[in-house]
Amino acid sequence: MPESLGIFAIDHIVLTVRDVDTTCAWYGRVLGMRRVEFDGGYVALHFGVQKINLHPDNAPYVPHATIAQPGTADVCFVATGTIEEIVAALNREDVAIEVGPVEQTGASGVMDSVYVRDPDGNLVEIASYR
């Protein structure tokens, strides 16, 4: 990758989903993300200074990934709380933890993570740096 591009952050990612409302409800309830509608009907989940654009699988927006299907993403979110607080919050929301807590290496060092599934089956890692 040429250094001249100066890439320094991810602005947004896109998830292809079966049901936008169900996805928004889950990410809002479980992860505290907020639904934002923009540009005449597009929907995104906002958190911090990032967003996740949601594309319905039955009417994908152009352009899109070559194989845009629900349940094909694997994403990691960093939380401000401890791993114990994350586990407790997930338990309160009746979200099944598939793996963890486990130690992982993130972009900024050692972190503790748990893995859950969203309504489409995407793998969602929630991590806390030590």
How are beta strands 123-129 and 50-56 bridged, if at all? unpaired
| Catalytic site residue from 37, 85, 98, 125 | 125
Check if 3 is active-site: no
Write out the two tokens for 37.
């509608």
Return phi, psi of residue 107, to 5°: -65, -25
What residues contact residue 127 under an 8 Å CB cut-off, 6+ apart?
A: 76, 77, 78, 79, 104, 106, 111, 112, 113
- Give catalytic residue positions: 125
